Amino acid sequence: MTHSFTPDQLSALDRMEYRESDALALSSSLRKRGFTPEQTSDMLTQAKLRVQARSKFGEDAQRMLFTRSGLEQATRRAVSLWHARRFRDADAGPVADLGCGIGADSAAFLSEGLPVMSYDIDPDTASMARHNLSVHHESEVRVGDVTELDPASLRTQDGTAIRSLWLDPARRDTTDGRVSRLFDPEAFAPPFSVIRRWAETGMPMGVKMGPGMDRSEIPENAEAEWVSCGGDVVEVVLWFNALARPGVKRSATLLGADPLEPDVLAQYTSDSGFGQDAGEAPPVGPPADFLYEPDGAAIRAGLVDQLVSQVRGHLLDPRIAYFASNRCEDLAGATCWVVDEILPMGTKPLRAWVRENGITGLTIKKRGVDVVPETLRRQLLAGNSSKKKKPAGNRHATLILTRWESPDSEHRAAFVVRRAHP
């Protein structure tokens, strides 16, 4: 817990260079310096979390404090800055960060010059956020149940009225001592009905939700922005009122792999919501020379049609996101694969292909077929080492398993692919 760290512990922790192989020696050294077994254990845990946190916060992680769940749920720096810059560009400060956790989003707001009042219901988490934000002299962290707040009455320490809200509702239940995910928005903290009520006041708001949010739960008065970072879909943000872009109902933002600075690779938008008339559907056709695998944010946002049109392609199946084209282009929103072979999707023919080609490593992707990639991989590679005529060396291959329809039947197959380099 943050409040249990003494100044001596923090000083020792900040100077510690943690490596798993040195954990025992570090433990002995800390005990010799007078730290209790409990203090030593807490410090080593914290040092290990700091190493893991570098992938989200860079070198700043070395001065921060974390809980394991807090680190897992914290927004990586690049994505937090992406949020904060929308607030900054809308001149929407001061901001109330309601449910601030360890303070990752609050830090981004502060770094963009926006005054922030941060709230968390848990005193220990709030204490951690207070430590992490202490490098910003204007930071302000309070403890409280945000569901009991009236956003219109919120004021900073100097009496300035809060002008906008940022919420990252708690989506995990820890009441029984175990962590379990919550899927009902009314079970979130704050409940989604409270969020809707606050949005109706007209106050600018951004609400971070899980990327798998049920589309039917998205309010009609919100812009839903799915965000991917380095190819991983990390969230959908619901933007309300002055923070929602005019004429945009759903969008996909694709950020590069840099976890510290937002590098926008592509953005796709639509002025229609889900279930509304979104124009002409993409064409559907057979396999072609190239197979495209769209970024997950574009899939979640229902914007794959915009990618298909960029390469004059077509879907293999109207319910599956893979699309085909005879054009190979460097498309920011999708990975382009060269199709080398199309094989029957059965264990026996695929195992024969693996054996004949000396395949020793497999990446298996799939959509629209009932296959467990890990299980199939084990089945296809089993026994390869015992083959007398196995070619020397290692050879890795990628299979994409999917289906498509023709006028007379449905087809299921495994595409042998390799990464295209347009």
Tell me the pLDDT of the chain (422 aa) as tens digits. Answer: 445 789 999 999 999 989 998 999 999 999 999 999 999 999 999 999 999 999 999 999 999 999 998 899 899 999 999 999 999 999 998 999 999 999 999 999 999 999 999 999 999 999 999 999 999 988 999 999 988 889 989 999 889 999 999 999 876 655 555 555 667 778 777 888 999 999 999 999 999 999 999 999 999 999 999 999 999 999 999 999 999 999 999 999 999 999 999 999 999 999 998 876 656 788 999 999 999 999 999 999 999 999 999 999 999 999 999 999 999 999 989 999 999 999 999 999 999 999 999 999 999 999 999 999 999 999 999 876 544 454 545 799 999 999 998 878 889 999 999 999 87
Nearest to 400 by CA among 363, 356, 349, 374: 363
CATH number of 71-270: 3.40.50.150
Percent helix / strand / coil, the chain, rounded to 5: 35, 25, 40
Q: What is the pLDDT of residue 249?
A: 96
Mean pLDDT of the chain: 91
- Specify whether the CB–CB gap between 337 and 311 falls below 8 A: no
Q: What is the pLDDT of residue 180?
A: 58
Q: What is the pLDDT of residue 407?
A: 77
Amino acid at 332: A
Containing H/E element for 165? strand 164-167
Amino acid at 327: R
The topology (CATH level 3) of 290-419 is VC0802-like (3.30.2130)
Total residue length of the chain: 422
Backbone angles phi, psi at 194, to 5 degrees: -70, -40
Q: Domain segments of the chain: what residues? A: 2-56, 71-270, 290-419
Residue 195: C-alpha distances to residues 75, 186, 191, 274, 329 (Å): 20, 10, 7, 20, 42
Q: What is the pLDDT of residue 170?
A: 74
Nearest to 116 by CA among 89, 91, 141: 141
**Buried/exposed 395-412: b ≥16 CB within 10 Å, e otherwise:** eebbbbbbbbeeeeeebe
